[in-house]
Chains A and B, each alone.
Chain A
Amino acid sequence: GAVVSQHPSRVICKSGTSVKIECRSLDFQATTMFWYRQFPKQSLMLMATSNEGSKATYEQGVEKDKFLINHASLTLSTLTVTSAHPEDSSFYICSAGAGDQPQHFGDGTRLSIL
């Protein structure tokens, strides 16, 4: 069964709306979680590293004020896409793992901004 749960799986909303995506590790504690964005037929693009109890580390070119990340507990990280616009439409996916152990991915969230 899934060890990482991601919700919601699909969001369709109007431009200007803020959208929150949750990523939970179900049976292990994850001090670090990763957030990716994936465009059609492309690889996983790392957006940021979510660190429990501290600020997220963003990759170059990713706007931290646009993509807010909160990792308040060892089992939950959230990504909020603020004031979303059509260009933010994409497949967002999280992963979690401990240290050098395999990463487990959530089911992903398909975000569509009208």
Chain B
Amino acid sequence: GENVEQHPSTLSVQEGDSAVIKCTYSDSASNYFPWYKQELGKRPQLIIDIRSNVGEKKDQRIAVTLNKTAKHFSLHITETQPEDSAVYFCAQLGGSYIPTFGRGTSLIVHP
């Protein structure tokens, strides 16, 4: 079945540093890859997504890269700020239209 592996599970950085979270997937039919940010006790919120016809997408300090050949995609956050601290989930969507989520990465940005 569809599977998404996410690493690292915890990421601790200093304010201003960059943070990178990586996910790998197994379903070659996957064509949509969203990233969600979840603050404690709140709902996951979509922060960026990418479709299989592009290799990179940027939105201010956030970027996502996709390597379909290697079946992995990554979230890049530059100039991190304390308010970036949260749990980040990657997900993939394939032909079944049922999203599969990674296990999450707890990002801690130290001021």
Contact = CB atoms under 8 A, between A and B. Distances in A.
B61 interface: no
Contact of A99 (B34, B87, B97, B102): B97
A68 B108 CA distance: 38
Contacts of B101: 43-44, 46
B34 A106 contact: no
Interface in B5-32: 31-32
Contacts of B102: 43
A15 B87 CA distance: 31
B42 to A, nearest CB: 7
Q: Which size class do B's interface residues fall under?
A: 20 to 34
A103 B101 CA distance: 12
Contacts of B41: 108, 110
Contacts of B89: 43-44
Given A104-B46, A105-B43, A34 B103 contact: no
A100 B104 CA distance: 21
Given A42-B104, A100-B31, A108 B43 contact: yes
Interface string B68-107: 0000000000000000000101010100011111111010
Nearest to A110: B41
A102 B104 CA distance: 18
B98 A34 contact: yes
Contacts of A93: 43-44
A77 interface: no
Interface of B: 31-32, 34, 36, 41-46, 49, 87, 89, 91, 93, 97-104, 106
Given A44-B89, A95-B99, A107-B42, 7 more contacts: A34-B98, A43-B102, A44-B44, A46-B98, A49-B98, A100-B32, A105-B43
